[in-house]
Structures are given as C-alpha cells and as structure tokens.
Homo-oligomer: A and B are copies of this chain.
Amino acid sequence: MTLLRRELGDVLRERRRAQGLTLREVSATASVSLGYLSEVERGEKEASSELLASICGALDLPLSKVLIDVSSRMAESEGLATTVSLPVPAADVVSASAA
C-alpha cells in the first residue's frame, strides 16, 4: 500500500533539494524542528495540515502544486498512470518471435 506520508515526504525532499536548501534552513524558516522535518521527509511522521502549510511556505511553494506532484506519484503506484501512445509506422513493428 502506498501511503500518503511517504509520497508527500519524497516530494517535499525533492523540492527542497531542487532549491539547494538544507534541512536546517527549511526547518528554521518553517519553525519546525530539524528532526521532525527529517522524519516527515522520510515518510515516518504525519505532518499536520498547519505544519505542512508552514513547510510549503518555507519552500515558497503552493500546497496545491505539492499535491499535484503527490497525486501523480500516487497514480503511478496505483497503476493509474496515463500511458503515452506514440505512433509507430507498421513496418517498424517487429513481433518477438520474428526478432
């Protein structure tokens, strides 16, 4: 079972790293203890809605955008990822037995 807090933690960590911020910096701006933020990022602790808003604020990131990221990760693990079909000319289609 894919848990919300795991995906949420992954997204928050990725977003923080993409901005080149340390756990220490974000925890200070968000007024959250470094240990707690680290546990949230590792998906070990549930972040309360207030704390989550605070972390998003520290990352200057709307919560809605974080949720979209989380949602698409969840969809993938739920097997609901949208598949992309690319047109392939018939001549390029080779069956396994013919290869």
Contacts and interface: CB of A to CB of B under 8 A. Distances in A.
A50 interface: yes
A65 B5 CA distance: 16
Contacts of A64: 71-72, 74-75, 78, 80
Interface residues of A, number: 25
**Stoichiometry (number of copies):** 2
A83 B19 CA distance: 28
Contacts of A6: 49
Contacts of A65: 75, 80
Contacts of A49: 3-6, 46
A52 B78 CA distance: 15
A74 B80 contact: no
A28 interface: no
